[in-house]
Amino acid sequence: MSDDHPLLRSYGRIKSRTIKPRQAALMETLLPQLRVPEGPIDPAALAPGAAEVWLEIGFGGGEHLAGQAARRPDVLLIGAEPFQNGVASALRHLDEQGLTNVRVHDGDARDLLARLPDASLDRVFVLFPDPWPKARHHKRRLLQADTAAELARVLKPAGRLRFASDWADYVDWTLERVSANPAFRWTAERADDWRTPPADHLTTRYEEKRLGDCAPVFLDFVRT
């Protein structure tokens, strides 16, 4: 998109409280080592030999990102998060656990998606994104028809997309827009499939706060 029509921000603030000294030091030392390089991205070059490549969009404090990376050391996880306090927190988790199979994009995920090649990802997580609950702000939500199209482009056939939210309206919004794309199939067969956390889900402290207006809902889609 041209500079005359920049993308609307799909996230709120970039930074809140002062970053703790240890985390600030990791921002200076560890982040440059893990940051996704500029320009077109070749996931195979980021982690030669990785069995799969997963992307988490909006990883918050990094608990889920680090937990999945620890579970699957054979997988490259790319995390995108513009909130600097969240990036700093994630770096602490990665450093404490000695995880080397994670790369970080500390910016807008849509910029990252645009630089990924077709059919390059095996899995995408979008967990509890900013809900933008007011109707006039819905255009700022991450999950739009064009985002669904980009996710379809970068996912491999049979690749998986997981969306989770505790805002009922955003769940309906996402289900409508992703299901409208013929490249995706919603995998649910019964209510428990979206009401019960998937077996491989990792609950974070943010999720436990229950800041939305409903119990967490999990939508799993497969790239057809």
Domain containing residue 26: CATH number: 3.40.50.150
Q: What are phi and psi of 184, to 5 degrees?
A: -120, 145
pLDDT of residue 5: 42
Q: Would the annotation count 134 as a binding residue?
A: yes
Domain assignment present for 207: yes
Please determine, for residue 3, whether its predicted confidence score (pLDDT) is greater than 70. no
Angle at the Cα of 115 (from 111 to 119), degrees rounded to 5? 120
In this predicted model, what pLDDT tens digit does every residue of 161-194 receive, in sequence order?
A: 999 999 999 999 999 999 999 999 999 999 999 9
pLDDT of residue 18: 87
How much is the pTM?
A: 0.91
Query: For the chain, how many structural domains are there in total?
Result: 1
In this predicted model, what pLDDT tens digit does every residue of 63-106 receive, in sequence order?
A: 999 999 999 999 999 999 999 999 999 999 999 999 999 999 99
Q: Are 94 and 70 in contact (CB under 8 A)?
A: no
Domain assignment present for 89: yes
* Domain assignment of residue 55, given as a range: 21-223
d(CA 174, CA 124): 14
Active site residues: 130
Q: Would the annotation count 204 as a binding residue?
A: yes
Q: Would the annotation count 207 as a binding residue?
A: yes
Q: Are 87 and 66 in contact (CB under 8 A)?
A: no
Domain assignment present for 14: no
Q: Would the annotation count 166 as a binding residue?
A: yes
Residue 78, both tokens: 């790319």
Average pLDDT over residues 196-214: 94
The DSSP symbol for 35 reads B
Parallel/antiparallel/unpaired status of strands 184-186 and 217-223: antiparallel
Domain assignment present for 184: yes
Domain assignment present for 28: yes
Average pLDDT over residues 127-149: 93
Please determine, for residue 110, whether its predicted confidence score (pLDDT) is greater than 60. yes
Q: Work out the mean pLDDT of the chain and round it to a whole number.
A: 93
Domain assignment present for 219: yes
Domain assignment present for 7: no
Q: Are 65 and 132 in contact (CB under 8 A)?
A: no
Rounded to the nearest 10 degrees, the angle between the axes of helix 84-97 and helix 63-71 is 30
Domain assignment present for 38: yes
